[in-house]
Structure 1
Amino acid sequence: MEIIKSKIDQAGRILIPSSYRHSLHLMPGQNVILRAEEGELRIQSFKESASYARSLVKKYNPDNKDLVELLFQARKEDTSRD
C-alpha cells in the first residue's frame, strides 16, 4: 500500500484516507484497537483483533477444548482443597 501523509488535528484526531479505510473495511463509527509498537501506531479492527486472538489460542489449544469449562473445573478443585 502506498504511503500517505496525514495530520493530527487540534482535537488529536488523525484522518485515515478513504483508500485505506476501504481496503481495511473500516467504517465510520466502528471501534478499532490501537497499539503502539516499536515507534509505530498500529490500527486494527475488532474483527481482525479477535481473529488474531483466536489463532493464538488455537496454537496452545489445538484440541479446541472448552477453556471456560476447564477454568470452572480448576476453580472447583481449588475450593475443594481448601
Structure 2
Amino acid sequence: MNAQRGKLVSGGRLQVPAEFRRALGIDDGDTVIMEVKDGELHVRPYREVLRRVQDRLRRYVPEGVSLSDELIAERRAEAERE
C-alpha cells in the first residue's frame, strides 16, 4: 500500500484515509493501539493486538485446560474457606 497524506484536525484527531481503515479492518469508534517507534506512529487494531497476546500465551497453557475455569474454581474454594 502506498503512503498517503493524512491530516490532524481539531482536538489532535488524526484523519486516517478510508483505504487504510479498510486495510486494517477498523471503523468509526473501534479501539486501536498506538505507539511511537523510532519517530514513527504505529496504529494497530486492538483486536489484533489482543489476538497476538493470546497466541503467545497459549503455548504456556496445556491442551484441554481452561484457565478461566481454574480461576473460577479457585475463587469459589477461597470464598468457601472464608
Q: Secondary structure at the match of 2:6?
A: coil
Q: What is residue 78 of structure 2 aligned with on the other side?
A: none
Contact 1:58 1:64 in 2 (8 A): no
Aligned-partner Cα distance in 2 for 1:6–1:25: 18
Any gaps of 5 or more consecutive residues in structure 1?
A: 74-82
Any gaps of 5 or more consecutive residues in structure 2?
A: 75-82
Cα offset, 1:38, TM superposition = 2.1
RMSD: 2.6
Find out whether 1:4 has 2:4 as its counterpart. yes
Q: What is residue 49 of structure 2 aligned with on the other side?
A: 49
Q: What is residue 35 of structure 2 aligned with on the other side?
A: 35
TM-score, normalised via structure 1 length = 0.68
Cα offset, 1:59, TM superposition = 4.0
- Structure 1 window deviating more from structure 2 (40-49 vs 56-65): it is 56-65
How is 1:66-81 mapped onto 2 (pairs within 5 angstroms)?
Answer: 66-67=66-67, 69=70
Question: Relative to structure 1, is the Cα distance of residues 12 and 23 closer, same or farther in structure 2, using a 3 angstrom cutoff?
Answer: same
Identity score, percent:
26
Aligned pair count?
76
**Structure 1 residue ranges (4+ consecutive) displaced by more than 6 angstroms after TM superposition:** none
Q: What is residue 19 of structure 1 aligned with on the other side?
A: 19
Question: Relative to structure 1, is the Cα distance of residues 63 and 10 closer, same or farther in structure 2, using a 3 angstrom cutoff?
Answer: same
Question: Relative to structure 1, is the Cα distance of residues 63 and 7 closer, same or farther in structure 2, using a 3 angstrom cutoff?
Answer: same
